[in-house]
Amino acid sequence: MVGYLQTRKILRSLLCALLALALVAPAASAASGPRAQALPPLPEWPIVGPILRMLGLVQAEPAPAVAPDPTIPEYRITSIADAEALPEFAEGERVRIVASDSDLNTIIEQTLQDNLGDGAAVAVDFDTGVVHVVIDANEELLDQAGADIPRFGNADLHLTASMTIDASDCQPTIGFSSISVNRWRIGLRVAAQRVVNTRLPEMWPQELCLERVFLMDGEAAVEGYRR
């Protein structure tokens, strides 16, 4: 603990000295002549900047957000009827499909109810850059489906996951940031990532090209075309 506190004190002293230097440098530079150039802002220094951001004294600049293409037609899905009413797109016609997490959850609930009854529930939550998923299924449904999913001592299944979704080579790419089954997490993220990396390219329809995925607070959008 002593070593840690001493290190923090040294870093603080160093930062105070650097801050003082940063305030003095522009004035000294201006006094030295019209051609003199002031030092860049402290957060932009190659070594000091990362240290400041690590200590939380300076906020890192966020990456510029990629905006949806305003020139392509947009279709919003709020119900199963909307999905069924989508037109037959021509080959190469780029479109954007948008859905909110609340509407998508209603669609999922209705679909599961029509096909599986009360045996399963799925909920999605769109956040900026990430999707949160919760899946519940009872023991009877899992046995009927023959699902080979470890339940870690619990007969029913409760799965939670957080993931990113992007597009690459016309296909979606999924990256798990966390996953748990009945509160068990050890080793699951790596295993789930391996399964998704193997199965997703086999399952994705080859006639559909996914170009971009936008995950926003409360809704998601995808852009692509039919090949």
> What residue spans define the domains of the chain?
2-54, 74-226
pLDDT at 70: 87
Task: Provide the pLDDT confidence category of residue 42 given band limits of 50, 70 and 90.
Answer: low
Q: Does residue 200 carry a pLDDT above 60?
A: yes
Q: Does residue 188 carry a pLDDT above 90?
A: no
Range of lowest pLDDT (68-72, 181-185, 190-194): 181-185
Q: What percent of the chain has pLDDT over 90?
A: 39
User: Residue holding tokens 């919003």?
Assistant: 76
pLDDT at 93: 94
Distance CA 70, CA 19 (A): 44
Distance CA 215, CA 166 (A): 9
pLDDT at 222: 94
Q: Which residues, in sequence order, are CB contacts of 224 under 8 Å at separation 6+?
A: 94, 95, 167, 170, 208, 209, 210, 211, 212
Q: What percent of the chain has pLDDT over 70?
A: 65
The backbone region for 69, taken as left when phi is positive above 0, alpha when psi lies in -120 to 50, beta otherwise, is beta
Strands 208-216 and 219-226: antiparallel
121-174 tens-digit pLDDT: 999 999 999 999 998 888 777 666 655 555 555 678 888 999 999 999 999 999
pLDDT at 1: 45
Q: Does residue 44 carry a pLDDT above 80?
A: no
pLDDT at 22: 44
Range of lowest pLDDT (46-50, 60-64, 210-214): 60-64
Q: Which residues, in sequence order, are CB contacts of 45 under 8 Å at separation 6+?
A: none
Q: Does residue 84 carry a pLDDT above 60?
A: yes
* Full strand arrangement of the beta sheet holding 208-216: 74-76, 95-100, 219-226, 208-216
Distance CA 42, CA 53 (A): 11
Return mean pLDDT, the chain.
78
pLDDT at 49: 62
Q: What is the DSSP string of 31-92?
A: HT-TT--PPPPGGGSTTHHHHHHHTTSSPPPPPPPPPP-TTS-EEE--SHHHHHT---PPBT
Q: Does residue 116 carry a pLDDT above 90?
A: no
pLDDT at 45: 58
